[in-house]
Amino acid sequence: MTDLESPTLVDVTAADWATPTLIDVPEVRDELGALGVVEKDSPFPFPVKRVYFLYDVPSNAVRGSHAHKDLYQLIVAVSGSFQVDLDDGFTKSRFVLNSPNKGLTIPPGYWRTLRDFSAGSAALVFASEEYNPGDYIRDYDEFVKWTTA
């Protein structure tokens, strides 16, 4: 992946979980609308131990600005759109999430920032672990040192 390149969407069963990947979120669609489904046996790279959501984020706000040492995430834009910038210490990539049936998996070891939230947007985040402050790297220079150690 080159600098700021957005990879193409892949089938969840074919995803390479070692790199950030756009995946299809299972859905059921009929004349009444759509229902996105994530169940305990969904074919994701991790068991879900924590779910949280971001909403009412001002369009000029930047969220995230940290990395995780061990935690995996799946981020879905359930409403509106926002941008996710990722950095593994060597390569930067950019993803625009704007559909509730597409999600971005983020493995450990990626610095992430979320920005450019549209009005009414909401991000749903599935995490592989419960909240653990020791898993976070909140200083970018420390993150770069960690990636090259």
User: Which regions of 1-91 does DSSP assign to beta strands (E)?
Assistant: 21-24, 27-30, 33-36, 50-55, 63-68, 73-79, 82-87
Establish whether 66 is a catalytic residue.
yes
Contact residues for 26 (Cβ-Cβ < 8 A; gap 6+)? 12, 36, 37, 38, 42
Distance CA 75, CA 90 (A): 22
Q: What burial letters (b/e) apply to 89-121, b meaning 16+ CB within 10 Å?
A: beeebebebebbbbbbbbbebbbbbbbbbeeeb
| Residue-level length of the chain | 149
Give, for 146, the enclosing helix (H) or strand (E).
Answer: helix 140-148
Choose, from 63, 66, 92, 102, the residue flagged as catalytic: 66
Catalytic residues: 66
